[in-house]
Structure 1
Amino acid sequence: MGLIGRRGFVAGAALTMLASTGASAREGGSAEAGADVGADPAERTRRAANAFRGVWIATVFNRDWPSRRGLSAQAQRAELLAHLDRAAARRLNAVLLQVRPTADALWPSPHEPWAECLTGVQGRDPGWDPLGTAVEEAHARGLELHAWFNPYRVANHTDPTRLSADHPARRHPEWIVPYGGKLHYNPGLPEVRQFVQDAMFDAVGRYEIDAVHWDDYFYPYPVAGETFDDDEAFARYGGGFGNRAAWRRNNVDLLVSEASARIKQLAPQVGFGISPCGVWRHSTSDPLGSNTRLGVQSYDSLHADTRKWVKEGWIDYIVPQLYWHIGHTATDYAKLVPWWEAVVRDTGVGLYIGEALYKAGDPAQPAVWQDKKELSRHLTLAKRYPGVGGHCFFAALEIDKDPIGAMAAVVADHYPTSVRPS
């Protein structure tokens, strides 16, 4: 089976796209909406056949799977296989399964307890191996399996006594920081950085996963009126930095660069991808930033220098979460797609766009999201930019429910045939 991750099936396709599309796209030349710049029909067909078509399956809070805690092993397995069947039926080619949602595991880990989302009791054996099953069954359906880990989130509450008795965070209370109603590992501690890598990469050594995948949770999203208390760690390790923000960014940089090196050493065939907040920095904050304004900037708010990770080649693909509609006044999808394409250009890093399927048909969203064609228009627009190697949809529950037929429209308009890794 080919690999979407490390320089494989889709990442390699993105590089070929850039090499074959001519100077107009590279130099920022304009194109009519929906036009695939510089490509003849055969080239467009080849690109489509090598496009990333992914879906996230979230387990935190039992969002997508399992549907509730405490199901039997047989019922959990049946629900998981149904998600994989639907992904294949929608002509997708990758599933990104959350296997370490809150510093616990969906496989028999020697480092962390069994995940609470399975049985309702953290540390209780569910009676089967969800990750092992997911890898085998995804591959049987021609799907890549990207193991999605959350490095620093410990719990969605602030009471360590609610963690399993043998949880590492209880054995090392000095590792955790309560903030925003949650418990987090402290990214400023080298021993934490070592531990979270050991915990995640146990799965890399055990299973034939196609990629390691992280989302946007590094330092936590800012909470008004609260302070992330890392004073002691900063006093101990931050002396060589001009300010705390620079030190925090370096802590996250170290996690990413060290993880990249470890994956290459442990399993060079396994890719490494990250799905960050869709805005690195606004152009009002940095001339290199995107033509956006307001809202979270990953560089400043989360201390995640996502642009640097691409430029340094530490990751194999990036999936910015562009969860806004075309024409959004502050963060326009149509402005962010070309910005990200320019970031990955000539780097060898694959670019796949994170799509807000969950907004389609949600009555709480603006009117544009009540139009089933909004997401299809996203994919049409992205075809103007040859560096875009595909899309990933949040999330599996909406693949199933599809209340207004938005995913069905994407499939009909853009996925006329199934895709299998070469």
Structure 2
Amino acid sequence: MGVVKSQTNATQWEGITRRLGLSGVAYCIVDLQQIRQAADLAGTQVLFLPNVETLSAVQVQALQDWMGKGGRIIVSGPVGTLSQPDVRSKLRSLLGAYWGFSLQNPSTLAPTSGKNQGWMQQNGLAGIIRGGVIIPAGLTSQTAAVWKSTENPPAVVTTDRSVFLGWRWGVDTASEPKLDSAWLRASLTRYGGVGDARNPAQRNCTPPNAIASSASTPAKPPSPTPTNRSAALPPASPPFQLPDLNGDGLVAPAGLEVKPSSQPITASQASAMRQELEALIGRFESAQLAANAVTGGLENRGTSTQNSKLKTPNPLSNARIALQNFLQLVAQKNYTGARQQWLQARRILWDNYPKDRPQTQPEIRAMWLDRGTIIRAGSEQQLAKIFDRLAAAGFNTVFFETVNAGYPIYPSRVAQIKNPLVRGWDPLASAVKLAHQRGMELHAWVWIFAIGNQRHNALLNLPKEYPGPVLDLNPTWAGYDNRGRIFHLGSGKTFLDPANPEARRYLIQMLEEIVKNYQVDGVQFDYIRNPFQDPNAGYSFGYGTAARQQFQQLTGVDPVKISPKDRDLWQRWTQFRTNAIDSFVAEASRNLRSIKSNLILSAAVFPFPKNERLQKLQQHWEVWAQRGDIDLVVPMTYALDTNRLQSLTRPLLSQNQLGSTLILPSIRLLNLPDVVAVDQIQALRNFPASGYALFAAENLNDNLQGIFRRTQSQQAIASPLPYRQPFKAAAARYVSLQQEWTFLEANNQLWIKEPALSEWRKQADALSKALNQLADNPSRNNLTMAKALLASFQFQFKKWMQSEGLEQPYQVEVWANRLATLERLLLYGERTLK
């Protein structure tokens, strides 16, 4: 066994070595800095990383390659938590788990029992430890021990290649030496033995050139057998491993990664890097202008020569200089210096991003309040603190996780089962009350067709193959893959058959129960789709009993017998599954609005291109929007940088196939630096969008909450909500737009000359009057007038802004987008007129 020593565990090393001596296992010391490739670990069968909080991308790649050759790993504590986001993501996939959060108090560690847990039969594995919750993140991840509490969260998680201990091994304030030693010996036993050296000599691991031929590869524990619940389907083939799209797979990687290097920069790379910096400068400047227009601050954009008293702020000036230096250094083939200048420019802008003044533009500011955060709250009193934070941060809409993996978080007569982690209170009733007290809207966030989850089973200490409470009672409602397996291979979830009439009736009755019994302002459909598939690779889903019977009645063919090669039949099968979901959305929408006409309906959807989405998910949200079944489309445009967020979002906002439905793009906070989150929000504000949604409350840290409190809390709750008061929101947003123009004109920074200037002012004022009149007195006539004046203003806008566009092309594009947002709000508002 090799034991890794690093900078982050150096202060704990004395305690670690004492525990190693007590364990009586043979080991040597591996310097983390020496791990650059798999060969650096040659001869080592098992590697132990005690409390190593920082790893580089190169080191994680070396570990991955070494484990691919048979190496096995044990880790403890918050491993990798101080690493870069992409490293944390890769490490999570490698280990099949990650450090979730620290427990506030010492807790009782309790090993679990199971068919694959024979290695934990020895004594001394239970005790009191100060540790943290380990979140399983892989299809084969198993919980080996839990922290005894009402939730029994995971404390030790294993895969066939790793053991993750949820405490700082070797630290006296965390655990007892005997307990640490017992868990290390048990973990090594899992891999075939603990060695027999009674007094191991500490030495550096100096690997030979190749792994000794006598080194044995530890045997893998047997893989769990997939559940086969349909004998009529063909026998299961070897598992087709899809990426785990339940977690990190949802997040698009960075569109442009720049790291220090001397490698040549190609012409296309230089162009992409230049465009990225110019776009960041544009977003920075746009955010600064919006703040200055509200506060009256005087910060020039750095382009005017008419007023020498107005000086460019240093961040913008320095960033522009760095950009020019970058281009010059690329031309000189000084690629190391070029990258340094590029990174310096980005750092200047990030460090000085406008984060201290309010932005008053009315917009939807939504937050998903996740089940884990709700469960950890445990009472209305503690939940109130969460709503206080959200209100102080300016959020006006909360998507409250109400049904997760088949478990309602409220006492349900329809489901006849409640989340067992909820005891002694009704979180949904408390949430509605707390939100309304703070002037916020509360929308019930409901998992629709996803009805079971192996990760949830682990939290509840249930068998891994438990299909969830609904399918356990109603197995004929299940959807299956094309090999008869009930669990989706990519996510470990079970799904209902959208074509099953009884399953549909159950779901609609539960949605109706929520709307009838609770004063929710809206309902959000999540998992309103089939799970991810790849038909071209031989993996598809949706073969429930009802779906197969109905399709065979229509075509005379059992769908399990066709493949994508049968193009016509396969297209009909895809359309059949898509129609089943489409019709459910229409039925649910009709029923819920008959109960509460002003209910806001939304759907969390994937932003993939339509054809790809229909093949892989059967999710046709354009149809729902065109028919008016939903009010908001909430695409999960999660990305690790703003570049990729924009590339995901731009096509969605530029299409005109959504009728009057609004689009609300979203951002995932997990692994996203705070300044990148702020930059992504600014990018969405500069697009023709009505706001944004953040996933999720559990990732809203104090620093980011403080930024929101300073920039968007003052008028957020009082401002008109676009989906609730679209005409008032349009009028108020136009006021913000006029404030920017007025500010620039007052400071001689608006490049419009006479006679265009007078005509622009005249029409701008006329549009303002029409929007205000519509907001005060909504009517068909006033709407017609406002739409006509807005269309005329948009038509002439490019002509008026021709000179301004030469100086500030990005900002002119932003203004045009914001005018387009007004157009969408008027179109959406038309549905509210009687």
TM > 0.5 fold call = yes
Q: 1:300 aligns with which of 615, 623, 628?
A: 615
Corresponding residue number in structure 2 for 1:276:
605
Q: Give 1:385 deviation, angstroms.
A: 2.6
3-state SS in 1 of match to 2:408: coil
3-state SS in 1 of match to 2:664: strand
Write the deviation string for residues 83-125 of structure 1: whole angstroms up to 9, x where unpaired. 2111011111111111111222122211113433524xxxxxx
Answer yes or no: is 1:253 the counterpart of 2:582: yes
Q: Give 1:319 deviation, angstroms.
A: 1.2
Answer yes or no: is 1:179 the counterpart of 2:487: yes
Distance in 1 (CA, whole Å) between partners of 2:594 and 2:572 is 33
Q: Give 1:406 deviation, angstroms.
A: 4.1
Corresponding residue number in structure 1 for 2:522:
211
Corresponding residue number in structure 1 for 2:439:
142
Answer yes or no: is 1:384 the counterpart of 2:720: no
Answer yes or no: is 1:334 the counterpart of 2:612: no
Q: Give 1:258 deviation, angstroms.
A: 1.0
Q: Give 1:196 deviation, angstroms.
A: 0.8
May I ask how many residue pairs the two structures share in their alignment? 340
3-state SS in 2 of match to 1:116: coil
Residue ranges of structure 2 left out of the alignment (5+ in a row): 1-281, 295-358, 458-462, 480-485, 556-568, 721-834
Answer yes or no: is 1:202 the counterpart of 2:513: yes
3-state SS in 2 of match to 1:378: helix
3-state SS in 2 of match to 1:109: coil
Distance in 2 (CA, whole Å) between partners of 1:173 and 1:317 is 33
Distance in 2 (CA, whole Å) between partners of 1:310 and 1:104 is 28
Distance in 2 (CA, whole Å) between partners of 1:262 and 1:421 is 30
Answer yes or no: is 1:222 the counterpart of 2:516: no
Q: 2:428 aligns with which of 131, 146, 154?
A: 131
Q: 2:450 aligns with which of 153, 167, 183?
A: 153
**Distance change in 2, residues 1:132/1:410 (3 Å):** closer
2:445, 2:523 within 8 Å by CA — same for their partners in 1?
yes
Corresponding residue number in structure 2 for 1:170:
472
Q: 2:412 aligns with which of 86, 96, 109?
A: 109
Write the deviation string for residues 336-372 of structure 1: whole angstroms up to 9, x where unpaired. 3332223468722122121111232xxxxxxxxx4x3
Distance in 2 (CA, whole Å) between partners of 1:135 and 1:349 is 25
Corresponding residue number in structure 1 for 2:770:
none
Distance in 2 (CA, whole Å) between partners of 1:199 and 1:142 is 26
3-state SS in 2 of match to 1:53: strand
- Of structures 1 and 2, the one scoring higher in RCO (CA 8 A, sep 6+) is 1
Q: Give 1:309 deviation, angstroms.
A: 1.7
Write the deviation string for residues 349-400 of structure 1: whole angstroms up to 9, x where unpaired. 122121111232xxxxxxxxx4x321222222223333x111111111112x
Corresponding residue number in structure 2 for 1:55:
367
3-state SS in 2 of match to 1:100: strand
Q: Give 1:311 deviation, angstroms.
A: 2.0
Q: CA RMSD in A?
A: 3.3
Corresponding residue number in structure 2 for 1:65:
374
Distance in 2 (CA, whole Å) between partners of 1:335 and 1:168 is 39
Moved more, 167-176 or 144-153: 167-176
3-state SS in 2 of match to 1:304: coil
Write the deviation string for residues 133-163 of structure 1: whole angstroms up to 9, x where unpaired. 1111110011110000011122113969957
Q: 1:118 aligns with which of 409, 416, 421?
A: 421
3-state SS in 2 of match to 1:87: helix
Answer yes or no: is 1:393 the counterpart of 2:694: yes
1:344, 1:351 within 8 Å by CA — same for their partners in 2?
no
Corresponding residue number in structure 2 for 1:93:
396
Q: Give 1:217 deviation, angstroms.
A: 4.7
3-state SS in 1 of match to 2:717: coil
Distance in 1 (CA, whole Å) between partners of 2:500 and 2:524 is 22
- The amino acid across from 1:65 in the alignment is I
3-state SS in 1 of match to 2:379: helix
Write the deviation string for residues 186-214 of structure 1: whole angstroms up to 9, x where unpaired. 11212211221111221101111100112
Write the deviation string for residues 43-77 of structure 1: whole angstroms up to 9, x where unpaired. xxxx9453111110111xx3x2212xxx8xxx432
1:65, 1:79 within 8 Å by CA — same for their partners in 2?
no
Q: Which has the larger radius of gyration?
A: 2
3-state SS in 2 of match to 1:147: strand
**Distance change in 2, residues 1:227/1:341 (3 Å):** closer
- The amino acid across from 2:498 in the alignment is P
Name the TM-score, length of structure 2 as normaliser: 0.38
**Distance change in 2, residues 1:86/1:346 (3 Å):** same
- The amino acid across from 2:631 in the alignment is D
3-state SS in 1 of match to 2:442: strand
- The amino acid across from 1:81 in the alignment is A
Distance in 1 (CA, whole Å) between partners of 2:472 and 2:582 is 27
Answer yes or no: is 1:244 the counterpart of 2:573: yes
3-state SS in 2 of match to 1:235: helix
- The amino acid across from 2:546 in the alignment is A
Q: Give 1:219 deviation, angstroms.
A: 0.7
Distance in 2 (CA, whole Å) between partners of 1:317 and 1:260 is 12
Distance in 1 (CA, whole Å) between partners of 2:713 and 2:527 is 27
Higher helix share: 2
Distance in 2 (CA, whole Å) between partners of 1:278 and 1:411 is 30
**Distance change in 2, residues 1:138/1:413 (3 Å):** closer
3-state SS in 2 of match to 1:319: strand
Q: Percent identity?
A: 21
Distance in 2 (CA, whole Å) between partners of 1:163 and 1:340 is 35
Residue ranges of structure 1 left out of the alignment (5+ in a row): 1-31, 120-125, 286-296, 361-369
Corresponding residue number in structure 1 for 2:107:
none
2:360, 2:716 within 8 Å by CA — same for their partners in 1?
no
